[in-house]
C-alpha cells in the first residue's frame, strides 16, 4: 500500500504530530506562516514601522511625566516664570507624544489586522483548493466535520500569527528591553526592584498560556465532536423525525456540549488564578519601589520626578510583561494549528495528472478494461476486481449486473479515475486513462450516481453545472431527455426555481432525473448510469431509455443496475461475480445459459409476482 493511502487512515490531528512537537518542525511552520504574511509586503512594512514608532513614543512618556513633576516642584519653590514655561512645554510634548503614539498604535492595529485577514484569505483559498484536489479515497476516510474544524478553528488560530506573534515580539522587545535598560541606567538598585515582578509575571503568564493552549487543543477536539453531532443531525433530520429520535439526538448533543463546557470552566479557572498571582506580584513590586524610592527621595538621592518615572515605567511594562505569555501562546498555537493546516495542504492527491499528461483525443470511442485489478485504499488485501476485461465501443449499450459486492459500482468509479486501478489498465481509444488530464477525461466520461447531490440553487444552475454558459434550449433539451422538463414547466419559476438543501424540495425520482440532465449537458462520449434510475418508476424509466437511444449511436453507454428490467434493451450484459465477468451476452442469450443471470432473473421475477406486480 502507498504512503498516501496509509496516511489517509490517520486522523487529521495525528498527521502533524511530529512537526508540532519538534522544535525544527515548529520553526519551519512559523517560517511558512511568516512567508505567507510577507505576501502583503507593504502592509507588513507599515505595521512594523508603526509598532516601532508607537513603542518609542510610549517609552518617552514616563520621562516627560517625571520631568513635569520636577518642574511642578520648582513652581512650588517659587521659580514661577521659568517653571511655568517649562511645564507648559512639557505638557505640550506629552500631548504631542500621546497623539503620535495613538495614531501609530491605530496604524499598527489596522495594518496588523490587514495582514491577518490577507493571510486568512490566502490560507482559506489554499485549503479550499486542496479540498477540491484531494481524491475520493481521502474523502472516504476523513469526516467532513473534521475538515470543517480544520478549515475554521485551526486556520483561524494560524492566521493571527503576524499580529499576535511577530508584531507583539517587536513591541515587547522594545518596551521590555529598552524600558528595563533605561530603568537600570537611572538607578540600578531601584531598577532591579521595579523589574522584580517581570520574571514572576512572565513565568506564570507563559505557564498559564501553555496550559490554556493544551486545553484549547482538547477543546477543539471536543468542538469537532460537537460539529459532527450537529452536522449528522442536520443531514439526517428526516430520519430523526421519522423515528421520533429527537430526545436521543438531544441527549447526544447535550453530552457533547457538557464536555466542552466543563473544559471551558477549567480554562476560566486557569486564567483567573494566574491573573491573581500576576497582579499580586506587580502590586508587591510597586509597593517596594514606593517604599525604597520614597526613602531615596527623602535622602535627596533621586527626585520625585524620577520616582514618578519609575512608577510610570512599571505601569507601562505591566501589560507587555503579561503579554509574554500571550506571545508564547501565539508561537505555540501557530506551531500546532499551522502544522495541522500545512500537513493537510502538503498532502499529495492520490489521483492527479501525470507530469506529461495529455488531453484525451477521441476517435472511435472504444473503452477497454484490460485485466483490471482493484482494491480500495482502506482495504488493500480485499480485492474488489480481479482480472476484469471487456470492451465497449461507440453505439453500444453495455449492462452490468451482479450480486451485492461483485464490483459493479467500482467499474463506474474507475472509468473517470475516481480511483486508480491496482493492476492492468483502462484505455479509451488506446490511451491509458492514467496518462490523460483529469479534466479532459471527466468531461468525456460522465457518471450519473444513485446517491444524487443537488446544490442549494436554481434548477437551471444545477442542470448546467458542467456547462455554466449553456443556452436555455440546451438545458431544456437535456431536461426533456431526462424526463424532468414537464415537471419543471409546471413550476411557478420554472428553471429558476430554487431547490432546497441537497434538493430536498424534489422527490427522489425527480432528483435522479435532474442528475441525469446534468450529466447529459457536456455531451459525454461515455455515459455511465450507476443504478441511477432506482428511484424512477418503470414507465418514466422506459421514456428515459427511449430518449437516450436518440444519441446512443454517438457514445458508449454503461448501465450498472440491480433491476434486470433496466438492462433488457442493452446490446450486451456483463454478469459480475467476485470482481470477474462470469457471463456475458444479450438478455435472451443469458437466460438460455441458465447461469447466475438466470438465477437473478428468476429471483426478481418471483419477488415481483409475490408483490403483485
- Specify the pLDDT at position 46: 94
* 374: three-class secondary structure by DSSP: strand
Whether residue 273 is contained in a domain is answered as yes
Task: Specify whether 397 is located in the same domain as 339.
Answer: no
pLDDT of residue 536: 63
- 277 within a domain of the structure (yes/no): yes
> Structurally, how many domains does the chain consist of?
2
Angstrom distances, CA of residue 168 to CA of 153, 161, 175, 268: 21, 9, 10, 24
Q: What are phi and psi of 436, to 5 degrees?
A: -105, 155
Tell whether 94 is covered by a domain: yes
Out of 289, 313, 345, a domain closes at 345
Are residue 184 and residue 291 in the same domain, yes or no?
yes
Report the pLDDT value the prediction gives residue 75, as an integer from 0 to 100.
Answer: 57
* CA pair distance 384, 419, nearest whole angstrom: 12
Dist. CA 523–CA 143, nearest whole Å: 33
Q: What residues contact residue 159 under an 8 Å CB cut-off, 6+ apart?
A: 116, 117, 119, 120, 123
Domain extent, residue 59, equals: 12-345
Residue 39, domain member (yes or no): yes
Residue 290 lies in a domain: yes
Strand partners, 449: 530
Whether residues 123 and 88 share a domain: the answer is yes
At 377, list the grid cell: 485504499
Residues 384 and 253 in one domain: no
pLDDT along the chain (613 residues), means of 10: 39 43 69 89 92 87 75 60 69 84 91 91 88 75 71 80 86 81 81 79 73 72 76 74 75 82 81 77 80 80 78 76 71 79 83 86 87 82 85 88 84 88 90 90 84 80 82 85 82 81 71 83 84 66 72 82 78 87 86 83 64 46
Question: Which residue, of 345, 375, 391, is where some domain finishes?
Answer: 345
Q: Do 272 and 395 belong together in one domain?
A: no
Nearest to 194 by CA among 185, 203, 207, 206: 185
Does residue 385 share a domain with residue 336? no
CATH number at residue 165: 1.20.1560.10
User: Do the Cβ atoms of 538 and 604 come closer than 8 Å?
Assistant: no
Q: Is residue 356 part of a domain?
A: no
Provide the mean pLDDT of the chain: 79
Q: Which residue has the cell 421514456?
A: 543
In a domain, 6, yes or no: no
CA distance 328 to 455: 44
Q: Residue 491 maps to which CATH number? A: 3.40.50.300
**Which residues, other chains included, contact 573 with Cβ-Cβ below 8 Å and sequence gap of 6+?**
398, 399, 400, 401, 567, 584, 585, 586, 587, 590, 597
Same domain, 377 and 266: no
The pLDDT, as a whole number, for residue 107 is: 92
In the three-class reduction of DSSP (H, G, I as helix; E, B as strand; rest coil), residue 85 is classed as: helix
Same domain for 338 and 376: no
Domain assignment of residue 4, yes or no: no
Q: Are residues 144 and 256 in the same domain?
A: yes
Tell me if 532 sits within 8 A of 512, measured CB to CB.
yes
Residues 409 and 331 in one domain: no
Distances (CA, A) of 58 to 53, 81, 101, 176, 381: 9, 29, 7, 11, 68
92 close to 31: Cβ distance less than 8 angstroms: no
**Residue in 570, 550, 541, 565 with CA at minimum distance from that of residue 482:** 541
How many other C-beta atoms lie within 10 A of the C-beta of residue 377?
A: 22
Identify the helix (H) or strand (E) that includes residue 298: helix 246-298
Give the domain-ending residue among 311, 345, 379: 345
What is residue 81's predicted lDDT score, i.e. its pLDDT?
64
What is the grid cell recorded at 403?
Answer: 450480486
Burial environment of residue 465 by CB neighbours within 10 A (0 to 12, 13 to 18, 19 or more)? middle
Shared domain for 82 and 149, answered yes or no, is yes
* Contact residues for 364 (Cβ-Cβ < 8 A; gap 6+): 393, 394, 429
Q: What are 447's strand-pairing partners?
A: 528
Residues 34 and 142 in one domain: yes
Say if CB 345 and CB 130 are below 8 A apart: yes
423 bridge partner residues? 373
How many residues in the chain? 613
How is residue 454 written as a grid cell? 443537488
Amino acid at each position: 500500500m502507498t504512503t498516501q493511502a496509509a496516511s489517509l487512515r490517520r486522523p487529521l490531528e495525528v498527521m502533524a504530530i511530529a512537526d508540532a512537537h519538534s522544535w525544527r518542525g515548529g520553526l519551519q511552520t512559523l517560517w511558512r506562516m511568516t512567508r505567507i504574511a510577507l505576501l502583503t509586503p507593504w502592509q507588513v512594512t507599515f505595521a512594523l514601522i508603526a509598532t516601532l514608532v508607537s513603542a518609542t513614543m510610549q517609552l518617552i512618556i514616563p520621562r516627560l511625566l517625571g520631568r513635569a513633576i520636577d518642574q511642578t516642584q520648582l513652581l512650588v519653590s517659587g521659580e514661577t516664570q521659568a517653571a511655568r514655561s517649562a511645564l507648559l512645554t512639557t505638557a505640550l510634548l506629552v500631548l504631542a507624544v500621546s497623539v503620535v503614539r495613538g495614531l501609530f498604535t491605530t496604524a499598527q492595529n489596522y495594518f496588523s489586522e490587514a495582514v491577518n485577514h490577507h493571510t486568512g484569505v490566502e490560507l482559506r483559498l489554499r485549503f479550499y483548493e486542496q479540498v477540491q484536489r484531494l481524491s475520493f479515497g481521502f474523502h472516504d476516510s476523513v469526516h467532513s466535520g473534521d475538515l470543517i474544524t480544520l478549515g475554521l478553528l485551526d486556520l483561524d488560530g494560524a492566521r493571527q500569527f503576524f499580529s499576535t506573534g511577530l508584531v507583539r515580539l517587536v513591541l515587547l522587545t522594545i518596551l521590555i528591553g529598552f524600558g528595563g535598560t533605561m530603568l537600570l541606567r537611572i538607578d540600578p538598585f531601584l531598577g532591579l526592584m521595579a523589574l522584580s515582578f517581570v520574571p514572576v509575571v512572565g513565568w506564570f503568564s507563559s505557564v498559564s498560556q501553555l496550559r490554556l493552549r493544551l486545553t484549547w487543543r482538547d477543546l477543539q477536539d471536543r468542538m469537532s465532536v460537537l460539529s459532527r453531532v450537529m452536522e449528522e443531525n442536520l443531514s439526517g433530520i428526516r430520519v430523526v423525525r421519522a423515528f421520533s429520535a429527537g430526545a436521543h439526538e438531544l441527549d447526544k448533543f447535550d453530552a457533547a456540549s457538557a464536555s466542552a463546557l466543563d473544559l471551558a470552566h477549567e480554562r476560566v479557572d486557569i486564567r483567573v488564578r494566574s491573573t491573581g498571582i500576576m497582579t499580586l506580584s506587580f502590586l508587591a513590586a510597586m509597593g517596594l519601589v514606593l517604599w525604597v524610592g520614597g526613602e531615596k527621595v527623602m535622602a535627596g538621592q533621586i527626585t520625585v520626578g524620577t520616582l514618578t518615572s519609575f512608577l510610570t515605567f512599571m505601569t507601562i511594562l505591566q501589560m507587555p510583561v503579561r503579554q509574554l505569555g500571550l506571545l508564547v501562546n501565539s508561537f505555540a498555537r501557530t506551531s500546532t494549528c499551522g502544522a495541522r493546516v500545512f500537513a493537510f495542504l502538503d498532502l499529495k492527491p492520490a489521483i492527479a495528472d501525470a507530469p506529461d499528461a495529455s488531453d484525451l483525443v477521441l476517435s472511435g470511442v472504444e473503452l477497454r478494461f484490460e485485466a483490471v485489478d482493484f482494491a480500495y485504499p482502506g482495504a488493500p488485501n480485499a480485492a474488489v476486481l480481479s482480472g476484469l476485461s471487456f470492451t465497449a465501443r461507440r453505439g453500444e449499450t453495455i449492462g452490468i449486473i451482479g450480486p451485492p459486492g461483485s464490483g459493479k459500482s467500482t467499474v463506474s468509479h474507475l472509468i473517470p479515475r475516481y480511483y486508480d486501478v491496482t493492476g492492468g489498465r483502462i484505455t479509451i481509444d488506446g490511451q491509458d486513462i492514467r496518462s490523460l488530464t483529469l479534466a479532459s477525461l471527466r468531461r468525456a466520461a460522465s457518471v450519473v450516481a444513485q446517491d444524487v447531490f443537488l446544490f442549494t440553487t436554481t434548477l437551471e444552475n444545477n442542470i448546467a453545472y458542467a456547462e455554466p454558459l449553456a443556452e436555455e434550449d440546451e438545458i431544456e433539451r437535456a431536461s426533456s431527455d431526462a424526463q424532468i422538463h414537464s415537471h419543471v414547466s409546471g413550476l411557478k419559476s420554472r428553471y429558476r426555481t430554487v431547490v432546497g438543501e441537497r434538493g430536498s424540495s424534489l422527490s427522489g425520482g425527480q432528483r435522479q432525473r435532474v442528475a441525469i440532465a446534468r450529466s447529459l449537458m457536456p455531451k459525454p462520449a461515455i455515459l455511465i448510469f450507476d443504478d441511477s434510475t432506482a428511484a424512477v418508476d418503470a414507465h418514466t424509466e422506459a421514456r428515459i431509455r427511449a430518449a437516450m437511444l436518440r444519441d446512443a449511436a454517438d457514445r458508449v453507454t454503461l448501465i450498472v443496475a440491480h433491476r434486470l428490467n433496466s438492462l433488457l434493451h442493452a446490446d450486451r450484459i456483463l454478469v459480475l461475480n467476485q470482481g470477474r465477468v462470469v457471463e456475458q451476452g444479450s438478455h435472451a442469450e443469458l437466460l438460455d445459459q441458465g447461469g447466475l443471470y438466470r438465477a437473478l432473473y428468476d429471483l426478481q421475477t418471483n419477488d415481483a409476482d409475490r408483490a403483485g406486480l
